[in-house]
Structure 1
Amino acid sequence: MFKNYIKIAFRSLWKNRLFTGINLLGLSLGLASAVVLILFIQRGLTFDTFHKDNDQIYFVQTADKESRYNQTVYPILDQLLKTYPEIEKGTHIQGWNNVWINYNGKDIQGNTKYVDSTFFDVFSFQLKYGNPSTALKDRQSILINGDIAAALFGDKNPVGKTVTVNDTLNFTVTGVLEPVPANSSIQFEVLVPIANLEADKGFRENADWYNTFAAVYLKVKAGTDIGKLESKFPKFVKTHFAEGAKDRTIHIAPIKDFIHFQNPFFKSMIYGAMTIAGFILLIISINLINLNTAVSFTRAKEVAVRKVTGSTLRQILIQFWLESGIVLVAALTLSIIFAVTYLIPQFNEFRQGRMQLMVNWQQDYATMLILLVIICAIAFIAGTYPAMYLNKLDIRDTIKGTLTSKPQSKGWTKNSLIVVQFVLTIVLILGALSVRMQTGFMRNAHVGFDKENVVIVQSDMQYKNVDAAMGQFSGILDDLKQNPYVKSVATSGVVPTKYWSNYNLYLSESEPDKEVRLRQAGTSSAYAQTYNISMIEGRDFSDELDKNGENNPVVINESAMKALGWKTAVGKRIHPKNNDKIYTVIGVMKDFHYQELKEKIEPLIHWYEGKTALNSYLTVKFTDDRHVAEVMAGLEKKMKMMPAKKPFKFFYLSEELSRQYNDLDGIWKMVNFVTMLSIVIALAGIFGLITLAANQRTKEVGIRKVLGASVHGVAILLSKDFVILVLISIVIAIPLAYTFVKSYLQKYEYHITMQWYTYVMVGAAALLLTILTVGFQSVRAAMMDPVKSLKSE
C-alpha cells in the first residue's frame, strides 16, 4: 500500500510540476536561510554555557554613578576568597601585552591572557596535550594553541619544550590548547601564569584598590544565595577600596550574561535573527499551504473517487502528508547544501572572525532536530488543510465536476495568508532600507575632523632596541615635516576609531565636590591641526611651549567643558580623584566623533606625551593624494631600518572609518538577502495562484470573450482580487514597519529619520510588482483562443 502512496505522490508532483518547482525554490532558499539563522541563534543563546558547573561561574562588575562595567580592581580576588567562604575558586584573566614566543629562530605572537593557576578549576577549556591541573603551577610555564604549536613545532607534541618569551625569558611549554569555542567571551591563543605580570613594575603601580582594569571570575559553591552574598559587598568596599573609590559598588553576574554587558547590541542581534527566521518560516509555510490548497481543487474528483472506493480520511491524509513531506525533504537537502557551501561562508566573512559558524553534526544535533520538527510541522499543516477540506465536500457534486467552475469561492483562509505573507515582505523591505540608509548616513556624516588624505602608520612595531629607535624616529618625523607633500604630522597613543576604554574621575579645583568621568588618552603636538579639529578655545599642545611639562597641560573637548559646568576652560585646573596631580587646561576642542556614531560623544581629556614619543600611531596629513604612495614607500624604507618584530603597516583613515560599519553592512546583506527571498517567494506564490485561477476559469474566460469582453477587461477580472489583497497588505504593513523602524533607529545615538514618502514608495513598488506578475499571466489567459477555451473542459 505504501508503494502506491509513493507512486501517486510522485505522479501528482510531476503533474503539477510548476507548483512543485515554485515550492522547491521557496522552501530550499527559505530553509537555507533558516539553517544559518538558527545556528547563529543557537550559538548566541548558548554563549559561555559550555563550562562544567556553568551556573556556579560569575564575574565581578564595578558600578559608579554613571555606568556598570565588567572590570574591577586587581587585588579584589584574593580578598574575596579570604572573606567569603561561599566563593570556592577564582581566577584573573588579564590582558596586558601579547608575548612573543621564539623557538629555533622563529618568532610568533599570539593573543595572550595572564591567568592564575586555578584557571582550569573554574573553566572547562580543553587541552590537546598537557595536564590542566598542573599546567599553570610553574611561573615559567606557557600554554599555546594548536596553530602556534604547528607553526613552531610542526606536528610534534611540544609539551616539555623550552621557548624564549619576549627575547629574554625561558619558558616551558606545558600544554597545547584545543580550539576555544566561537561562542566564548574569553578568547585567547596563549596562556601565561599571572605571576609574570605581577613582577612588572608598571603593572604593580596600577594594580591598586582604585584602578578598575582587572577581569575577575569566581566559582561559587552550589546553592549559594547570590543576592545574600551581594548584600555583604557594600561593607567590603568601605573596608578595602581606596578613599576615592568607596562610593562604588561591586556586583557579580553569571558568566552567560558577560557578552550582553560587553555588547548590549548582541541581544538585539539574537532577537532580530529570531524575528527574521520566524518571518522566513512563516512566509514559506504560507506559500506552501496556499499552493497546496489551490492545487487541491484540481484533485477534488480524485478524492471523491477514493472515498467512493472505500478510502478513509486517514488514508487521504497520509497521501497529502507524504507529498508535502517529499517536497520538504528535497528542499531541506538542497537548503543544507546551499547553506554550508555559500551562506555560512558569507555569514562568517561579514562577522570578521567573531563567533564564526561551523556545522558540527555531532554538536549541532539540537539544531537539526529543531529543523526536523519545523519541517514535520509544516508538512503536517500543508497536507492536513487541503485533505480535510476536500474530505468535507459533497461526493455527488465533486464527481459531477461542479466545483471546477467556481474554484476557491470561499478562500478567506487563503486570502488571509496572502495578506500576512505580503505584510511580512513589506516590513522586511522597509527594515532592510532603514539599515542601509542608517549605514550610509553614518559613513557619510560629518565627524568633526578631516578624514581625507590622512594616512595612519602603526608605529609601535616592537623595536628590538627602543632607545636607538627613538633617535631614528625623531629624525623621521623631522624629515616628514619638511616634506612639501606633507601638510602635518602627529604622533599619538590613539586615533579616531581606536580610542582606549580608559576612564577616570576628575575634580575641578574650583568645585572640588563635583566629579566628572572623563575618557583619557595621550597625544603629541599638532594632533588637532593634523586632523583639522576645530579649537573653540585656547590651543593644542606645542613642543616649544609644553616641552618642560611644568603645568601638566591637557586639552579637553566641548562635552568635558559642559560636564564640568564651565563657560570658559583655559587656565582652569583639575586633578584625578585618586591623586593630587594638578592638570592645567590649555585648550578646548570642538566635539568630534572619535568612535562610531551609534555612541554618544563622551567627555574627553588628552594629555601631552612629548615631542618624540614613539607612540602607537603616526598620522600623516597629505596636501593631496597624488604623492601618497611615493612618500609612504620612503617612510617604509626608513622605518624598516629600525629592527622590529612587527611588519610596517598603515591604513587610510577614510577607509578605517568606513570599515567600522562593516558589521552593519553584514546585517544589511543578511536582511537584504532575506528580503529578496521573501519577495521572490511571495511573487512566485502569487504567480502560481493566478496561473491556477486562470486554468480553472478557462471556459468562463472563453464565454466572456465570445460575448464581447476585451482582453483588458478579462485581465482585470482575473487579477483584481490579488491586487486588492496586496493593497490591504500595504495598509497593514506600513504602520507596523514604521513602529519597527523607529524602534531600531532609536538604538543609535545619531540616526536618520525615514520620510513618509519612503513608506509610500515601497508600498507602490510592492503593488507594481504584483500587478506585473498577475497581469502577465492574466493577459496571457485572456488572449487565449475562445474556441480552444470552450473545448478545454
Structure 2
Amino acid sequence: MLKNNLLLALRHLWRNKMYTAINILGLSIGITAFLVIALIARYELSFDTFRVDRDQIYRVYSEFSGVFSGQNRGIGTAVAPWVDEHVSGVAYKAQFFTTGATASPLNPQGKAMDEARQNDIAVVEPDYFSVFSDYEWLNGDPESSLAEPNQVVLTAKKAEQYFGVVNPVDALGRQIQYGDASILTVSGILADLPDNTDLYFNDFVSMATVESGNWVQKYKLNDLGSTNSNSQLFLKLLPGKQAEDIDAQLVALERQYEAEHKEHGFIVNYKMQPFSKLHFSPANIGIFDQSRSPAHLPTLYLLIGVAVLLLLVAAINFINLETAQSIRRAREIGVRKVLGGSKEALVGQFMGQTFLLTAFAMIFALFLAKFSFYYFADFMPPNLTFDPFSPQVLLFALGTTVLVALIAGTYPAFVLSAYRPALALKDRIGVFGKGGGSHNLRRGLVIFQFVIAQVLIFGSLAVGHQINYLLHKDMGFSKDAIVYLNLPWRDTSQKYLLAEELKRWPEISNISLHGSPPAENGYSSSVIKFQKDGEELSHNVFRKFGDTSYVHLYDLHLLAGRNIQPSDTVKEMIINETYARQLGFQEPAEAIGHYLDYDDKKVPIVGLVQDFHFRSLHQVIEPVAIADDHSSYGTLGLKLMTGSTSGTQLEGLLARLEEQWKRFYPDNTFHYEFLDEAIANFYESEQRTAKLVRTATLIAILISCLGLFGLVSFAANQRTKEIGIRKVLGATVSSIVGLLSREFLLLVIIAFALATPLAWWATRQWLGDFAYHIRLSWWLFALCGGLGLLVAFLTMSVQAVRAALNNPVDSLKSE
C-alpha cells in the first residue's frame, strides 16, 4: 500500500510539473527564510546559558537623575569595597575593569616577536572565577595566578596565537608587553569557552597590577564620585536571595553619594541587572564589546515573526494550488470512492504526497540556506556557521518538514477526500465560481498573502528612504575627505612631531590634534555651572577637546565671537546654540563674554558655533562646549585635498602615512578611519535591517506571485472552452486578459486597503527610535500600492495573454 501511494504521488507530481515546480520553489524559499532566522534566534538566545548559577548572577549598574539623566553599565570604583563591607546575601563579588591595549609577545631575549595588536582585556580579582565558575584551568588557579602584580592569565587559543605553541601550557612563564611599558608574565592557562558568551575576554590581568601602578591605564581606585563605564561589578547571590534584597541595602550608598557630591547636581541609583538580560540590554548597560551592536530582542522577535509569516505565505500557496487542482482530480476521487476507497485512505494518500513534496522542498532549502549564510554574512552574528549535515540542522529540518507538511497538507487532504462522488463525476466543482465550496477561503488566503507583501513593500520603501536621509542629512560639520588616526596615549611628544611632519605634505590641507571627531559613538560629558541673576544653573555638557585648527578642519560654523587660543589646559570655551539657549539667552550670541564654572575655575565663553549632531540622529542635539586641552589629544585629524581621495592616489597616500607612522610609533599598529564611513557605521544596524526587509519583501512578492501565477494558470485552463467561444464571438485579447485578471486584481486592491494602516503603524513605531526622521508622505503609500498592483498584474498577464492568444479551434474541437 505504501509503495502504491508513493508511486501515485510521484506520478501526480510529474504529470503536473509546473505546479510541482511552483510548490517546491515557494515552499523551499519560505523554509529557507524560516530555517536561517530560526538558527540566528537560537544562537542569540543561547548566549551564556551554559553559565553555572546564571540566575543568581547580577551586574550592578548606575542610573542617574537630575541635571544629568541616563544609565551607565559602570559604577564608581568605591562601590565594590562598600558592598563587601555593608551588604549581606552575596556569595561572591567580581570587581573588574574592561580595557583595550596593544599586546606584543616577547621572546626569551625580551624582544617583540610580532607587531603589537589591539586586544580586549579584563583586569580581574581572583573572585572573578568564583562568580563565573565555568572556566577550566589547564594550569594554575585564581589564588596563585592572579595574586601578584604583573601576572596575566591567557586562554588556550590566545596562548597559541601569541607564542605559536602547540601545547598552550608551554606559554607559562613567557612575557607580554601591553601598551608602551607594562610587561606581564603568563601565570595561568584557561580552556577556551564557547563562542556564545558576552564575557569574550582572553587576557586576564591581575588587579594587583593596576594597584601597583604598572598598568597602561590609570584607574582612580576607591572613588565613589566618578562613574567609569569600564568599572564593572558582578555579584553572585546566596541561594534564596533576590535582587530586591540587595537593592534595599544599596539605598544607604545612594544617600552617601548624594551627601558627598551635591555639587554634581544629580543623584545616582544603583540597579541590579540580571546577567541573563545582559545580551539584550541597550548599549549603555549592555555588552562590553563596542565593535559590535548589542543584540536587540524586539528585532529578534520581529525576525521570528517575519520567518513565520514567510513560511505561512509559502504554505498558503500550497493550500491554494492544491485545492484549486482538486477540481482536476475530482473524477479520480469520485472513482476511488465508488470503488470503496475510504476517506481515511484518501487523506493518507494526499498527506503522503504533501510530505514527499515538502521533503523535496527541504532538500532544496538546505542548499539555499548555505548560500544565504554567504550572502548575509554581514547580518549574521559573529561565529555563527551553517553545516547542513550537522545533527542539529538535520533534526531541525526533519521537524520543520513534518510541521510544514501538516500545515500545508491537512486542509487540502480533507477537502479532496470530502468530495461527494456524484458531484465529482459530473464536474460540478469550480475554482472561484459556483460549486467551489472553498473558494471564499482561497480568496481570503490570497488577500492574506498580499497584505504581508504590501506591508513589506511599504516597510522596504520607508526604511530605505530613512537610511538615505540619515546618510545624507547635513550634520552641521564637514565629514568628507577627512581621515583620522588614533594616537597612543602614553607617548605625549611624538604626536606633535608627527603632526608637524604631515603639515608639510601638499596632499593634506588641514591638520588638527584633538580628543575625538565632532561625531562619535562614545562621548565625554561634565556638569558645568553658570551664575545668572544670582541663580546657579547646572547643565550636563558634552565636551569636545581640540587645538585651534579643530573648528576649521571640520568646518564648524562660527556664528559669533572668535576661535579658542592655544592652551595646555581649558582656559576658554566655544559653546553651541542649544547650550546658549539653555543658559537663558534668547539670542545665543549674547552668551559671549560670560563665564562658566568649570573644574573649579571661571572659564569665559569666547565663541558660538551653530548646532551640530555629535551623535547619531537617534538622539537630539544637546549642550556642547569646545575647548583646548593638550592632555586630551588622542586623535590626529587630516583633511585631504580633493585630488588625493580617489583610486591609486589615495592608496599611495595611505601607504606613505603608514611609513611615517612607523617612524614615530614603531611598536604600535597603524589604524585609520574615514569620518564619513565612521558616521555611516552609526546606522550599521539599520542598514542590516534594510537589507533584511528588502530580502523579505522580495521573498514575499516572489512566493505570492508564484501562487497567483499558478491560480491564474489553472483558472485559464478551466475556462479554455469559454475563452474559445468568447474569441469566436469577437472578444479581444485585452478583454480576455481583463476577464481572467479582474477578480484577482480586486483581491490585491483589498489587500492594499488592509495593509495600509498596518504598514503605517509599524513604520511609525520603527521611526520612533529616531529623533530626526522622514515624514510618511502620501506618495510612499501610492508607490507601494502601485508597485503591488503592477507586480500582480504583470504576473497574471503572462498567463492570461497566453490563454487569450490560443487558437479557439484547438479549445473547441473536442465539442
Normalised by the size of structure 2, how large is the TM-score? 0.88
Show CA shifts across 1:627-662 (max 9, x none). Answer: 874765554433322243223333332333334333
Closer, same or farther: CA 605–455 of 1 in aligned 2, 3 Å = same
Show CA shifts across 1:174-205 (max 9, x none). Answer: 114415534x3333232212222233386343
Q: 2 CA distance for matches of 1:85 and 1:375?
A: 53
1:39 shift after superposition = 2.0
* Amino acid paired to 1:288: F
The 3-state SS of whatever aligns with 2:407 is helix
Q: 2:637 aligns with which of 606, 619, 624?
A: 619
Bigger drift between 321-330 and 484-493 goes to 484-493
Q: 2:113 aligns with which of 106, 127, 142?
A: 106
1:211 shift after superposition = 0.8
Q: 2:428 aligns with which of 402, 412, 418?
A: 402
Aligned partner of 2:188 in structure 1 is 174
Bigger drift between 156-165 and 525-534 goes to 156-165
Show CA shifts across 1:664-722 (max 9, x none). Answer: 22221121111111111111111111111111222222233334433333222222111
Matched, 1:212 2:235: no
Closer, same or farther: CA 62–302 of 1 in aligned 2, 3 Å = same
Bigger drift between 222-231 and 21-30 goes to 222-231
Q: 1:154 aligns with which of 165, 170, 181?
A: 165
The 3-state SS of whatever aligns with 2:513 is strand
Show CA shifts across 1:302-359 (max 9, x none). Answer: 22222223322222121121111122222222222222x32223333246xx544224
The 3-state SS of whatever aligns with 2:220 is helix
Closer, same or farther: CA 707–498 of 1 in aligned 2, 3 Å = closer
1:233 shift after superposition = 1.9
Aligned partner of 1:767 in structure 2 is 789
Q: 2 CA distance for matches of 1:298 and 1:753?
A: 51
Aligned partner of 2:549 in structure 1 is 526
Show CA shifts across 1:204-236 (max 9, x none). Answer: 436510111122111112222322431232222
Show CA shifts across 1:389-438 (max 9, x none). Answer: 22332212212333369687340000100001001001101111111111
Matched, 1:239 2:256: yes
Matched, 1:311 2:341: yes
Q: 2 CA distance for matches of 1:285 and 1:41?
A: 22
Closer, same or farther: CA 702–363 of 1 in aligned 2, 3 Å = closer
Closer, same or farther: CA 595–207 of 1 in aligned 2, 3 Å = farther
1:597 shift after superposition = 1.7
* Amino acid paired to 1:91: A
Aligned partner of 1:62 in structure 2 is 62
* Amino acid paired to 2:87: Y
1:614 shift after superposition = 8.7
Aligned partner of 1:287 in structure 2 is 317
Contact 1:526–1:541 (8 Å) recurs in 2: no
Q: 2 CA distance for matches of 1:363 and 1:79?
A: 50
Bigger drift between 630-639 and 263-272 goes to 630-639
The 3-state SS of whatever aligns with 1:349 is coil
The 3-state SS of whatever aligns with 1:155 is coil
1:741 shift after superposition = 1.4
Bigger drift between 412-421 and 6-15 goes to 6-15
Matched, 1:500 2:522: yes
Closer, same or farther: CA 286–306 of 1 in aligned 2, 3 Å = same
Contact 2:126–2:146 (8 Å) recurs in 1: yes
Q: 1:22-171 residue pairs with structure 2 within 5 A?
A: 22-65=22-65, 66-104=69-107, 105-107=112-114, 108-109=116-117, 110-127=119-136, 129-130=138-139, 134=143, 136-139=145-148, 140-151=150-161, 152-158=163-169, 160-166=172-178, 167-171=181-185
Aligned partner of 1:746 in structure 2 is 768
The 3-state SS of whatever aligns with 2:769 is coil
Bigger drift between 738-747 and 418-427 goes to 738-747
Aligned partner of 2:378 in structure 1 is 349
1:117 shift after superposition = 1.0
Q: 1 CA distance for matches of 2:592 and 2:99?
A: 35
Contact 1:58–1:252 (8 Å) recurs in 2: yes
1:27 shift after superposition = 1.6
Q: 2 CA distance for matches of 1:512 and 1:93?
A: 41
Q: 2 CA distance for matches of 1:312 and 1:119?
A: 68
* Amino acid paired to 2:164: F
Matched, 1:595 2:579: no
Aligned partner of 2:809 in structure 1 is 787
Q: Structure 1: where are the runs of 5+ without partners?
A: none
* Amino acid paired to 2:146: K
* Amino acid paired to 2:185: F
Bigger drift between 196-205 and 18-27 goes to 196-205
Q: 2 CA distance for matches of 1:219 and 1:767?
A: 59
Q: 2 CA distance for matches of 1:137 and 1:479?
A: 44
Q: 2 CA distance for matches of 1:198 and 1:97?
A: 18
* Amino acid paired to 1:174: G
1:595 shift after superposition = 2.2
Q: 1:453-464 residue pairs with structure 2 within 5 A?
A: 453-460=481-488
The 3-state SS of whatever aligns with 1:95 is strand
* Amino acid paired to 1:742: R
* Amino acid paired to 1:154: V
Matched, 1:185 2:198: yes
Q: 1:391 aligns with which of 417, 421, 424?
A: 417
Normalised by the size of structure 1, how large is the TM-score? 0.90
Q: 1:358 aligns with which of 353, 370, 385?
A: 385
Contact 2:155–2:191 (8 Å) recurs in 1: yes
Contact 2:225–2:257 (8 Å) recurs in 1: no
Show CA shifts across 1:522-561 (max 9, x none). Answer: 3222111110101234333322xx35x4x73333333333
The 3-state SS of whatever aligns with 1:98 is strand
* Amino acid paired to 2:159: A
Q: 1:737 aligns with which of 745, 756, 759?
A: 759
Aligned partner of 2:577 in structure 1 is 558
Closer, same or farther: CA 560–387 of 1 in aligned 2, 3 Å = same
Q: 2 CA distance for matches of 1:584 and 1:56?
A: 52
Q: 1:287-686 residue pairs with structure 2 within 5 A?
A: 287-339=317-369, 341-350=370-379, 355-359=382-386, 365=392, 372-403=398-429, 409-410=436-437, 411-460=439-488, 466=491, 470=493, 473-481=495-503, 483=505, 485-498=507-520, 500-510=522-532, 513-543=536-566, 546=567, 549=569, 552-566=571-585, 567=588, 568-575=590-597, 580-610=600-630, 615-626=633-644, 629=650, 634-686=656-708
Contact 1:296–1:390 (8 Å) recurs in 2: yes
Q: Structure 2: where are the runs of 5+ without partners?
A: 284-293
1:509 shift after superposition = 4.2
Aligned partner of 2:13 in structure 1 is 13
Q: 2 CA distance for matches of 1:192 and 1:70?
A: 21
* Amino acid paired to 1:208: D
Q: 2 CA distance for matches of 1:561 and 1:136?
A: 54
Q: 1 CA distance for matches of 2:506 and 2:242?
A: 69
Contact 1:298–1:404 (8 Å) recurs in 2: no
Contact 2:92–2:127 (8 Å) recurs in 1: yes
Bigger drift between 391-400 and 166-175 goes to 166-175
Q: 1:199 aligns with which of 208, 212, 229?
A: 212
The 3-state SS of whatever aligns with 2:620 is coil
* Amino acid paired to 1:153: G
The 3-state SS of whatever aligns with 1:297 is coil
Closer, same or farther: CA 606–47 of 1 in aligned 2, 3 Å = farther
Closer, same or farther: CA 360–519 of 1 in aligned 2, 3 Å = farther
Q: 1 CA distance for matches of 2:232 and 2:125?
A: 12
* Amino acid paired to 1:385: Y
Aligned residues between the structures: 774
Q: 2 CA distance for matches of 1:206 and 1:554?
A: 30
